[in-house]
Amino acid sequence: MYLEKVKIHNFRLLEDVEFTFHEESTLIVGKNNSGKTSLNEIFNRTNNLKNKLKIEDFNIKSFKKFIDFFNQDTYNKDFELPTVSITYYLKYSDNSDFAILSDFIIDLDDEIDYVKLLVNYSIRKSEKEKFYDSGKKFVENNEKNRLITFLKKELSTFFEYSVISIDPSDENNTKEIKIETYNNLIQNNFIFAQRELDDNTHSEARILSKVLFKTVDNKDLSSNDEIEKNIQEIQTIAIDKLDSTIQTQLLPNLKIFGYPGLNDPNIQTETLIETQNLIKNHTKICYEGSNGIKLPEDYNGLGSRNLIYILFRLQQFYDEFINKNELPGLNLIFIEEPEAHLHPQMQEVFIKEINKLKKDFEKRYGKKWPVQFVVTTHSSHISNQANFESIRYFSRKSNNNIEIKDLKIFKETNQENANFLHKFLTLTRCDLFFADKVILIEGQSEHILLPRIIEKFDKEYENKLSNKYISIIEVGGAYAHKFYKFLEFINTYCLVITDIDFVDKNGKKCPYDSDLELFSSNYALKNWVNPQSQGKLKIDDTLKIGVKDDNPKVMITFQIKNNDGIWPRSFEDAFILENYDMFDLKSLSNESVFNKAKKINSKLDFAIKCGIENNTHWKIPDYIKKGLKWLSEVGD
């Protein structure tokens, strides 16, 4: 059995979303404030249905509905108050444990292989009128602040959880499930982002030791006869020594003060040493040093401590799972930001190896572990190494609704592109998933100069484009088109800066000449203008930079002809034309600009010299300026 999907309604940022899970591990990526934490938190808050929700846990759009309820002149029992709900879709097979599932399966269709389970947080029907009366008095007295305080403090006394199993073949066929039965179905565990590993106060310095002994608690050390025998011997020696000390040193002094008197009892000692507490309270994690010296746990690097912490916690979760009287059907483990303090290579290894832990634990301890991992990350190293189909992309739309994109769906419909993108992302370590906007560029010159160009653009237009989280990706002239559908899929604004790359009918590079029949050798540009065409893209004055009606979130910009009839063919040509005074050109023409650019031996040296050594006295090529202006105006 595994969790295939959930639908979440009205919880914090998640107004109405559907989230699908990978069978082994699911990776959640996306910008800050895009709902990733809200997803983890609803599983945490509904873990055992003892955690009551607060008014702040409802989606913000619900607040008006609460106010409207109290603003009614009279109580209306049919008024629908906001609810928070999560619907589970649990997939099972012939090998699943039907003893666990028996209470939840209510359909009779052999073709159906999943359980649909609704967990609802809603007003108690018997308390609805009382809830109205309690809040109405604040409305009548025009005490809005007191109404809000009432909702914050008292909402949980009127609302309750309910669990309902729904027949997938007949939505009207339902069965109420006891809370205790639901609590035994799934074990949710969490490793939160705030792990306090960098807190060196005395109370937190031994956090690894604390986590270790939570794991040890799951194993009854006192059941080991050899350990217990040794502990008893120590206990006997300690009691005898302590009792002797009391009799010979403490009591004679007390007798001076008349104690013990006639009716006073003598003092004796009794010492009980519990194996579990003895080990727990007097054992510390150390690291092997040199010459037999052991180093305390906070002497190790934060990255190593973070990794050890995560592994200890996973061991603890496994032990909790297999030691329950009634084994749950599933263990969901949420790990927030495992990349904390880990160097890039360790991050990549972590996400590739996490699924092997399940098999390793099962092999070592001989008990099955039906576990699914849900990993939230801001690391491009982790996201680029994960299986493409396991990634879920969270984004926030302009109306503040959260949108969740399942990359498995993209891969199923764009197999070739998905394979290319996964390889590309893995090799380049780009931060595409975490950017507000994206710029695709062609080569090294643009890559080095573009950050400087954006600074100049912002200064010239009093803009703040450099304050946005922009991912600049170097894709060459042949691959930008492979990103178009993906960028459309994840709903991200993208500027493509490319070259027109004139060639003659023989495919030879050449300057622009209006008397010649010229073509573009740029495959990304050809694919943009006419993706169905099998021939070459002919150069003429109808070529325009801009966006297309069927994909308004992607703009492509390239070199265009100036008023003097000069048409540069590449970034270097355009830069030279815009800053001709820097390059000692005797005359301005298509041929002179082309020949000057042709003499550039190293585009890298060209970009460093122009952009870094001479970083103030040059102008931005016009076609790039137009593209940046569009990018600065969209999506804000």
CATH number for the domain spanning 326: value is: 3.40.50.300
Same domain flag for 531 and 599: yes
Distance CA 244, CA 124 (A): 66
**529-566 pLDDT tens trace:** 887 777 788 998 888 888 887 888 999 999 999 999 99
In a domain, residue 337? The reply is: yes
In a domain, 430, yes or no: no
Angle formed at CA 203 by CA 199 and CA 204, multiple of 5 degrees: 35
Least confident range from 165-174, 209-218, 585-594, 600-609: namely 209-218
Q: Are residues 218 and 183 in the same domain?
A: no
pLDDT higher than threshold 80 for residue 122:
yes
201, burial (CB in 10 Å: exposed 0-12, middle 13-18, buried 19+): exposed
Residue at which a domain ends, from 243, 278, 313: 313
CA distances from 296 to 70, 200, 209, 288, 386 (A): 59, 12, 10, 9, 34
pLDDT-derived band of residue 237, with 50, 70 and 90 as boundaries?
A: confident
SS3 labels along 496-509: EECCCCEECCCCCE
Q: Percentage of residues in the chain with pLDDT exceeding 70?
A: 83
- The mean pLDDT value of the chain amounts to 85
Q: Among 345, 370, 394, where does a domain finish?
A: 394
**Directed axis angle between helix 62-71 and helix 144-158, to 10°?**
100
Do residues 435 and 471 touch, judged by C-beta distance below 8 A?
yes
Position 409 in a domain: no
Residue 428 or residue 4, greater confidence: 4
Please give the single-letter amino acid code of residue 505. K
Q: Say whether both 80 and 217 belong to one domain.
A: no
Measured CA to CA, the distance from residue 616 to residue 158 in angstroms comes to 66
Please state, in angstroms and rounded to a whole number, the distance separating the CA atoms of residues 427 and 12. 36
The more confidently predicted of residues 302 and 250 is: 302
Residue 159 lies in a domain: yes
Query: CB-based burial of residue 581 (10 Å sphere; 0-12 exposed, 13-18 middle, 19+ buried)?
Result: exposed
- Asked, for residue 566, whether it belongs to a domain, the answer is yes
In a domain, 415, yes or no: no
Q: What is the pLDDT of residues 272-301, one digit of tens each?
A: 556 556 555 555 555 455 555 454 545 445
Report the pLDDT averaged over residues 418-438: 87
pLDDT score at 201: 45
Q: What is the mean pLDDT of residues 517-538?
A: 85
Is 250's pLDDT higher than 90? no
Residues 62-85 have pLDDT tens digits of: 999 999 999 999 999 999 999 999
Taking 90 as the threshold, does the pLDDT of residue 311 lie above it?
no
Residue 488 lies in a domain: yes
Which residue is listed with tokens 């419909």?
Answer: 413
Q: Are residues 133 and 282 in the same domain?
A: no
The terminus-to-terminus CA distance of the chain in angstroms comes to 43
> According to the model, what pLDDT value does residue 297 have?
47
Decide which of 97 and 402 is more confident.
402
Tell me the per-residue pLDDT of 176-231, one tens digit each, with 9 for 90 and over.
999 999 999 999 999 998 766 555 444 444 555 566 556 555 555 545 566 667 76
| Residue 299 pLDDT | 44
- What does 397-428 look like in DSSP terms, one character per residue? -TTS-EEEEEHHHHHHH-HHHHHHHHHHHHHH
Report residue 262 as tokens.
């006639």
| Residue 110 and residue 168 share a domain | yes
Could you tell me if 232 and 271 lie in one domain?
A: yes
Quick one: 559 and 457 in the same domain?
A: yes
User: Are 452 and 383 members of one domain?
Assistant: no
Asked if pLDDT for residue 141 goes beyond 50, the answer is yes
Angle in degrees, CA 313, 317, 319, rounded to 5: 115
Task: Give the least confident one: 86-100, 118-132, 278-292, 317-331.
Answer: 278-292
pLDDT at 536: 82
* Residue 2: pLDDT over 90: yes
- Kindly report which listed range (37-41, 154-158, 385-389, 556-560) carries the lowest average pLDDT score: 385-389
- Residue 51 pLDDT: 84
Q: What is the pLDDT of residue 105?
A: 94
Beta strand segments in 410-528, E: 437-441, 470-474, 493-497, 502-503, 519-520
Same-domain status, 473 and 551 = yes
Average pLDDT over residues 128-154: 94
Residue 263 scores a pLDDT above 90? no
Q: How many structural domains compose the chain?
A: 3
Structure-token pair, residue 332: 């969901």
Highest mean pLDDT among 8-17, 297-306, 380-389, 519-528: 8-17
Residues 625, 571 within the same domain: yes
Half-sphere exposure of 497 (CA within 13 A, CB side): 31
Q: Specify whether 180 is located in the same domain as 234.
A: no
Q: What is the DSSP letter of 241?
A: H
Give me the mean pLDDT over the 332-349 stretch.
89
Q: How far is CA 435 from CA 31, 193, 353, 440, in A?
A: 7, 21, 27, 13
Same domain, yes or no: 119 and 255:
no
Lowest mean per-residue pLDDT among 12-26, 209-223, 238-252, 484-498? 209-223
Residue 491 has pLDDT above 80, yes or no: yes
Range of the domain at 59: 2-195+320-394
Amino acid 96: pLDDT = 82
- Does 16 reside within a domain? yes
The pair of three-digit structure tokens given for residue 47, joined into one six-digit string = 């873990």
